[in-house]
């Protein structure tokens, strides 16, 4: 659901429970994590969430390690339309072969982040799907384990028996601490669904964080949660936009359509890429443009 991708929005829900003091803390956090990007030139008029305009969000799960700028380990696009009450979630494989805008080279789409950070990634996805990217959220998956620990761990439903980082993950319901949750999201080579399988596990962890973190018994640790958010989340959502979306777009989160970017893997000069046929790309682009109430092209 939409809330499963927008961690800061979920924390805004805590305001009504813990009062004005926490409100000021959430506002303070929102200011720290707020980093604007260049507005899309694919929008004639700016988005107005008060008027319930459809909008898009690019979620970047970034794997940052010491001494390394990192790459966007996962890319998920959300398009939200409150007028037909639908939310579409599209997973974009990290190995997708496309033009990197600003580098003028064909490469894996996740390399855009290494070359030019969020802005280049947004520009590249916009070009690839021919839609405006209105908002983004960058989550540092390495540090996200701090958030998991701050709420006392998370519960997930594991559909694949596997071992990663010397941790065995059995099928069924699992309760994970921060370190294990990170390992759970990183495995992909032994997953028959590859990147798609890993992205599904990442979505589970994010949703579990929200479900666990919003429970009253965990509110005593809200300070640690907000502290972790400050360190591991960056977005161009303002606090006012977050509140307005919670108010005006709630029903859109109840009708979710999850899709995959249809393509296939191929080696080109010894390098693995995920190739998306042009007809598939155009079909998805027009579907997303329709969701955003833009003319098909």
Asked if 145 and 182 count as a contact pair (C-beta separation under 8 A), the reply is yes
pLDDT level of residue 26 (50, 70, 90 thresholds): low
List Cα–Cα distances, 290 to 230, 235, 259, 297, in angstroms.
Answer: 35, 25, 15, 10
- Per-residue pLDDT, averaged over 212-235, amounts to 65
The burial of 229, by beta-carbon neighbours within 10 Å (0-12 exposed, 13-18 middle, 19 or more buried), is given as buried
190 within some domain: yes
Name the percent of the chain lying above pLDDT 90: 40
Taking only the tens place, the pLDDT of each residue in 47-74 is 898 999 999 999 888 876 665 666 677 8
Nearest by Cα to 10 from 207, 220, 182: 207
Q: 83 or 239: whose pLDDT is higher?
A: 83
Tens of pLDDT, residues 185-215: 888 788 888 777 887 887 788 767 766 655 5
Q: Which CATH number fits the domain that encloses residue 144?
A: 3.40.630.190
CA distance 241 to 35: 14
Report yes or no on 296 lying in a domain: no
Beta bridge mates, 78: 57, 89
DSSP character at residue 250: G
Residue 297 lies in a domain: no
Tokens of 102: 């600003």
Residue 70 covered by a domain? yes
C-alpha 98 chain-centroid distance: 20
Three-class HEC string of 2-26: HHHHCHHHHHHCCHHHHCHHHHHHH
165 contact partners, CB below 8 Å, separation of at least 6: 183, 186
Can you tell me the mean pLDDT for 7-11? Answer: 48
In a domain? residue 160: yes
Cβ–Cβ under 8 Å, residues 169 and 175: no
- For the entire predicted model, the pTM comes to 0.81
In total, how many domains does the chain have?
1
From the number of C-beta atoms within 10 Å of its C-beta (0-12, 13-18, 19+), residue 203 rates as buried
Domain encompassing residue 128: 2-291
Half-sphere exposure of 28 (CA within 13 A, CB side): 10
pLDDT value at residue 128: 97
31 pLDDT exceeds 90? Answer: no
Q: How far apart are CA 78 and CA 91, in angstroms?
A: 9
Return the pLDDT at 193: 81
Give the three-class secondary structure for 97.
strand
CA gap 135, 133 in Å, rounded: 6
Q: Which of 108, 113, 128, 101 is nearest to 267 (CA)?
A: 108
pLDDT at residue 66, as a whole number? 60
pLDDT in tens, 139-154: 887 777 888 888 888 8
- What integer best gives the mean pLDDT of the chain? 82
């Amino acid at each position: 659901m939409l809330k499963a991708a927008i961690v800061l929005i979920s924390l805004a829900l805590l305001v009504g429970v813990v009062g004005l003091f926490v409100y000021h803390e959430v506002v303070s956090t929102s200011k720290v994590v707020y980093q604007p990007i260049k507005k899309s030139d694919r929008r004639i008029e700016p988005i107005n969430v008060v008027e319930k305009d459809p909008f898009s969000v690019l979620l970047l799960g970034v794997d940052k390690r010491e001494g390394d700028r990192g790459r966007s380990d996962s890319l998920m696009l959300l398009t939200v339309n409150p007028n037909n009450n639908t939310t579409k979630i599209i997973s974009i494989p990290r190995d997708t072969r496309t033009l990197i805008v600003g580098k003028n080279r064909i490469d894996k789409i996740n390399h855009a982040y290494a070359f030019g950070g969020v802005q280049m990634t947004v520009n590249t996805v916009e070009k690839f799907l021919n839609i405006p990217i209105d908002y983004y959220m960058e989550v540092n998956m390495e540090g996200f384990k701090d958030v998991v620990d701050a709420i006392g761990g998370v519960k997930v439903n594991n559909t694949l028996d596997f071992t990663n980082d010397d941790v065995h993950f059995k099928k069924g319901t699992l309760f994970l601490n921060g370190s294990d949750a990170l390992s759970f999201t990183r495995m992909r080579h032994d997953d028959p669904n590859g990147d798609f399988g890993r992205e599904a596990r990442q979505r589970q962890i994010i949703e579990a964080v929200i479900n666990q973190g919003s429970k009253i018994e965990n509110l005593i640790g809200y300070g640690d949660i907000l502290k972790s958010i400050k360190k591991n989340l960056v977005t161009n959502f303002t606090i006012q936009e977050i509140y307005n979306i919670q108010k005006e777009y709630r029903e859109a989160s109840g009708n979710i359509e999850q899709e995959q970017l249809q393509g296939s893997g191929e080696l080109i000069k010894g390098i693995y890429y995920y190739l998306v046929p042009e007809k598939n790309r155009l079909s998805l682009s027009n579907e997303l443009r329709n969701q955003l109430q833009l003319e098909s092209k």
